[in-house]
Chains A and B, each alone.
Chain A
């Protein structure tokens, strides 16, 4: 009996992925969990392991293909290696569809348990169960096909586990809340949806009339970035607050600690201190550790503190996420940051590495310049941009003294906070950078 392996649900509303590499050939006998394919999706390149052992009969995709969740990737047949009995999935159908419950390496254990049902409607316990078709009306099944949702991966919220239209839409967009495992926060009364935003780009002129042009397709990553940035810039009224931090003392502290760090196998950098300062400032200003829910008219304040760090790679910008920055010791933070950046640059980041950020730090000065205004990493509320620190003349107690100044910009969502809030939040970061001993007291 041939069995097919389909692109599993990738979570977070991701509906497609680009095939980067095919790691097996037709006719190969592969072991369970051996790498089959490499796919790139939402900024991560992920190796997909084989869900079973067996002989690869047909490979249905080629590198460069963009495939939707539920699309058949590989067909196995039974010849070859011993195969564990697969769960029958299709009643008396002649082939069995195998999916894996989740993608990417298991995330590092987090001190704060992450509710398993964070992704709306998508769980490891699909409605279909082991036998028979997915319970859903014909119209719902059609909607699922329209939105590219694999019904088998959707948990039904209707009577008898029936998958409803809302379940399908939630699985497609990851938007609607569905059956959270943790108790949902109580909703304030009088919440109202905000007006939607829709902008249709006007047609482009025929550039050929002015000279020769060449059309280049966007890479999957480029397209993802373009979509995210358009979404953020269109949806969020951005405000930027400028400031400078005197990091002369912090710099000295880092220089003094370099040796001690190295002894523990860690190369200390300013970035980990910036993350720490931002995390502690977020505690003081929780409206910046939040996401706006315009449909509900609510601000979702996060009681965890995972920070994204923008990393430039040859393929494009990627933002991996460090967990629980507020509570982690600095050396551990630095060590994780180094490992994460390496995974990202090597194209080995897992989806878990890229999910769940609350606030983003981006170093806009690596190649020079005096500052830049980044775009907020949707659906976060704020992003901190830092430029290159320089020694500059500063007037102190009537004397001009050389100090090391770090230009920084805090860009935030004006729907959520006002200029004064932004100034206070930026000052809270600056204060901690200027007085590193206070940083020490706080953590």
Chain B
């Protein structure tokens, strides 16, 4: 057999097996299209399952258990000092969480008849892919869906910095718990992983270039999180850059723009993610890749090439798995001739820190920036019965509504469980519900979801 001459012909070739890719492939298969997924890691799940959402949430759950156990002393329950064994923890994360989900995805692919091809895919024109790797082959397709996602950005100008400098992928492997950890970047990844390592016992120092944590997020929502992080982390440097990293005798010396030098055992660089649109051979198609590496798509996930679609992080912000999954389904349905479009109004965002921060739709700062008049209700969780029973009254629910029509335009939440609560808020924004709809819907008592109803009622009372 002459490797490389084998040509497979399919209806749809999906490039990348992450959430966008497998959602697209599964939907294509359901709609009767013969579909293959080409993935460089030879498995379905992508960064989300193997080096992102899922493992980080597993570790954050461990951190939450540790925090809860410590906090239990407040109400007279003392578990003593926790002992953390990293081997069983890593095994639990890799086998019981990530492994189980990965096996589930593989089973679904098999059941739906989606074939997984291992290797790196490179476009050779608008109808053909070259697959590089152990089993080189060519795949001819009627349509391709690019779902190559994103990868962690490196710290600009500082180079790789040796194995004491980690990106989020390496940090999630949990090789050890360093005594002193420097987190570069105060975005959601730096905060989530910083909290994990802090709970496991690291002394965490965080450096953020801008003058606040979670840049771009409503300050009302960031404040309760910032207060908690202040207590948990050794030190937070805002408005500060890391200008030099130098390994020195089993430690790393970090030079800050303030002139200060920090000696730490490990550095986690979490300064964002970059799209992986370059190096795919897309220049041999009519698809347009911009300077940052994003593939341009329209509302129906179509690129400028009629045979090439794209979904997920590689198509733009916000780079979130659930956006990719929705786009994947849209792309599949578009290929099947259905009238689908990625016209979603609200893409929820969740920061899985403690407390969680979540929002969807229009935020108050965005409305102010756009000069759009809105009505805003803030309902502090200090007034929530459920929050009191949890011993957590530091949350806030914020409702942004249209003054003319009473439509819910956006919701912001901070507090434990905010990531679950944002589901109702997203439905309200997506379906153009009104404040009255929220207020008149019965919310179970006592739950944190009542805070949405309460916020809605307070807006109505003021009307």
Residues on A lying within 8 angstroms of B by beta carbon are 91-92, 131-133, 135-138, 141-142, 145-146, 158-162
Contacts of A141 in B (CB 8 A): 341, 343
Tell me the B1-59 residues at the A interface (CB within 8 Å): none
Q: How far is the CB of A150 from chain B (nearest CB, A)?
A: 13
Contact B345 A160 (CB under 8 A): no
**B415 within 8 Å of A (CB atoms):** no
Tell me the B341-379 residues at the A interface (CB within 8 Å): 341, 343-345, 362, 370, 372
Contact A138 B431 (CB under 8 A): yes
Contacts of B372 in A (CB 8 A): 131
- Contact among B340, B406, B409, B431 for A142, CB-based, below 8 A: B340
Tell me the B426-453 residues at the A interface (CB within 8 Å): 430-434, 436-437
Q: How far is the CB of A143 from chain B (nearest CB, A)?
A: 8
**B157 within 8 Å of A (CB atoms):** no
Q: How far is the CB of B315 from chain A (nearest CB, A)?
A: 14
Contact B344 A160 (CB under 8 A): no
Contact B340 A137 (CB under 8 A): no
Within the assembled complex, what's the spacing in Å between the Cα atoms of A133 and B342? 12
Assess A135 versus B370: contact at CB under 8 Å? Given A141-B343, A160-B405: no
Contacts of A146 in B (CB 8 A): 339
Assess A145 versus B405: contact at CB under 8 Å? Given A137-B432, A160-B432, A160-B434: no
Contacts of B343 in A (CB 8 A): 133, 138, 141
Q: How far is the CB of B373 from chain A (nearest CB, A)?
A: 10
Tell me the B150-195 residues at the A interface (CB within 8 Å): none
**B220 within 8 Å of A (CB atoms):** no
Q: How far is the CB of B370 from chain A (nearest CB, A)?
A: 7
**B402 within 8 Å of A (CB atoms):** yes
Smallest CB gap from B366: residue in A: A92
**B407 within 8 Å of A (CB atoms):** yes
B326-348 near A? 1/0 per residue, CB < 8 Å: 00000000000001110111000
Contacts of B434 in A (CB 8 A): 159-160
Given contacts A132-B362, A141-B341, 19 further A-B contacts (CB under 8 A): A91-B370, A135-B405, A135-B407, A136-B432, A137-B431, A138-B343, A138-B344, A138-B430, A138-B431, A145-B339, A145-B341, A146-B339, A160-B405, A160-B406, A160-B407, A160-B433, A160-B434, A162-B407, A162-B432
Smallest CB gap from A134: residue in B: B432
Q: How far is the CB of A173 from chain B (nearest CB, A)?
A: 17
Within the assembled complex, what's the spacing in Å between the Cα atoms of A158 and B402? 15
Contacts of A91 in B (CB 8 A): 370
Within the assembled complex, what's the spacing in Å between the Cα atoms of A268 and B409? 63
Q: How far is the CB of B349 from chain A (nearest CB, A)?
A: 16
- Contact among A138, A142, A145, A160 for B402, CB-based, below 8 A: A160
Smallest CB gap from A141: residue in B: B343
Within the assembled complex, what's the spacing in Å between the Cα atoms of A17 and B162? 64
Smallest CB gap from A148: residue in B: B339
Contacts of A133 in B (CB 8 A): 343, 345
Contacts of B433 in A (CB 8 A): 160
Contact B370 A92 (CB under 8 A): yes
Within the assembled complex, what's the spacing in Å between the Cα atoms of A161 and B409? 13
A-B contacts, 10 of them at CB < 8 A, read A131-B372, A132-B362, A133-B343, A135-B405, A138-B430, A146-B339, A158-B432, A159-B437, A160-B406, A160-B432
Smallest CB gap from A129: residue in B: B404
Contacts of A162 in B (CB 8 A): 407, 432
Smallest CB gap from B343: residue in A: A141
Contact B430 A131 (CB under 8 A): no
Smallest CB gap from A159: residue in B: B434
Contacts of B345 in A (CB 8 A): 132-133
Within the assembled complex, what's the spacing in Å between the Cα atoms of A137 and B426? 12
Within the assembled complex, what's the spacing in Å between the Cα atoms of A137 and B434? 12
Within the assembled complex, what's the spacing in Å between the Cα atoms of A136 and B431? 6
Count B interface residues, CB 8 Å: 21
**Smallest CB-CB A-B distances: 6 pairs:** A135-B432, A160-B405, A145-B339, A160-B407, A160-B434, A137-B431
Residues on B lying within 8 angstroms of A by beta carbon are 339-341, 343-345, 362, 370, 372, 402, 405-407, 409, 430-434, 436-437
Contacts of B362 in A (CB 8 A): 132
Contact B341 A132 (CB under 8 A): no
- Contact among A132, A137, A145 for B430, CB-based, below 8 A: A137
Q: How far is the CB of A163 from chain B (nearest CB, A)?
A: 8
- Contact among A131, A132, A158, A159 for B436, CB-based, below 8 A: A159
Within the assembled complex, what's the spacing in Å between the Cα atoms of A145 and B433? 21
Q: How far is the CB of A164 from chain B (nearest CB, A)?
A: 10
Contacts of B344 in A (CB 8 A): 138
Within the assembled complex, what's the spacing in Å between the Cα atoms of A132 and B405? 13
Within the assembled complex, what's the spacing in Å between the Cα atoms of A91 and B409? 12
Contact B339 A142 (CB under 8 A): yes
Smallest CB gap from B409: residue in A: A132
Q: How far is the CB of B359 from chain A (nearest CB, A)?
A: 16
Within the assembled complex, what's the spacing in Å between the Cα atoms of A162 and B429? 12
Within the assembled complex, what's the spacing in Å between the Cα atoms of A131 and B403? 13
Within the assembled complex, what's the spacing in Å between the Cα atoms of A159 and B345? 18
Contact A161 B405 (CB under 8 A): yes
Within the assembled complex, what's the spacing in Å between the Cα atoms of A159 and B431? 11
Within the assembled complex, what's the spacing in Å between the Cα atoms of A93 and B7? 41
Within the assembled complex, what's the spacing in Å between the Cα atoms of A137 and B372? 22
Within the assembled complex, what's the spacing in Å between the Cα atoms of A160 and B407? 6
Within the assembled complex, what's the spacing in Å between the Cα atoms of A159 and B433? 8
Contacts of A138 in B (CB 8 A): 343-344, 430-431
Q: How far is the CB of A323 from chain B (nearest CB, A)?
A: 37
Within the assembled complex, what's the spacing in Å between the Cα atoms of A162 and B402? 13
Within the assembled complex, what's the spacing in Å between the Cα atoms of A133 and B431? 11
Smallest CB gap from B339: residue in A: A145
Within the assembled complex, what's the spacing in Å between the Cα atoms of A109 and B407? 39
Contacts of B405 in A (CB 8 A): 135, 160-161
Within the assembled complex, what's the spacing in Å between the Cα atoms of A92 and B437? 27
Q: How far is the CB of A60 from chain B (nearest CB, A)?
A: 13
Q: How far is the CB of A29 from chain B (nearest CB, A)?
A: 26
Among B340, B341, B343, B432, the one with the most A-chain Cβ atoms within 10 Å of its Cβ is B432
Q: How far is the CB of A1 from chain B (nearest CB, A)?
A: 15
Within the assembled complex, what's the spacing in Å between the Cα atoms of A132 and B367? 11
Smallest CB gap from A145: residue in B: B339
Q: How far is the CB of A397 from chain B (nearest CB, A)?
A: 73
Q: How far is the CB of A258 from chain B (nearest CB, A)?
A: 59
Within the assembled complex, what's the spacing in Å between the Cα atoms of A161 and B431? 12
Contacts of B339 in A (CB 8 A): 142, 145-146
Q: How far is the CB of B374 from chain A (nearest CB, A)?
A: 11
Within the assembled complex, what's the spacing in Å between the Cα atoms of A158 and B436? 13
Within the assembled complex, what's the spacing in Å between the Cα atoms of A92 and B369? 11
Within the assembled complex, what's the spacing in Å between the Cα atoms of A131 and B409? 12
Contacts of A160 in B (CB 8 A): 402, 405-407, 432-434
Q: How far is the CB of A321 from chain B (nearest CB, A)?
A: 35
Within the assembled complex, what's the spacing in Å between the Cα atoms of A159 and B436? 9
Contact B370 A131 (CB under 8 A): yes
Contacts of A158 in B (CB 8 A): 432
Contacts of B341 in A (CB 8 A): 141-142, 145
Smallest CB gap from A136: residue in B: B432
Q: How far is the CB of B143 from chain A (nearest CB, A)?
A: 19
Within the assembled complex, what's the spacing in Å between the Cα atoms of A160 and B341? 24
Within the assembled complex, what's the spacing in Å between the Cα atoms of A136 and B372? 20
Contacts of A137 in B (CB 8 A): 430-432
Within the assembled complex, what's the spacing in Å between the Cα atoms of A151 and B370? 23
Q: How far is the CB of A70 from chain B (nearest CB, A)?
A: 12
Smallest CB gap from A163: residue in B: B432
Q: How far is the CB of B123 from chain A (nearest CB, A)?
A: 25
Q: How far is the CB of A75 from chain B (nearest CB, A)?
A: 13
Smallest CB gap from A92: residue in B: B370
Q: How far is the CB of A157 from chain B (nearest CB, A)?
A: 13
Contacts of B436 in A (CB 8 A): 159
Within the assembled complex, what's the spacing in Å between the Cα atoms of A159 and B428? 13
Contacts of A131 in B (CB 8 A): 370, 372
Within the assembled complex, what's the spacing in Å between the Cα atoms of A142 and B334? 12
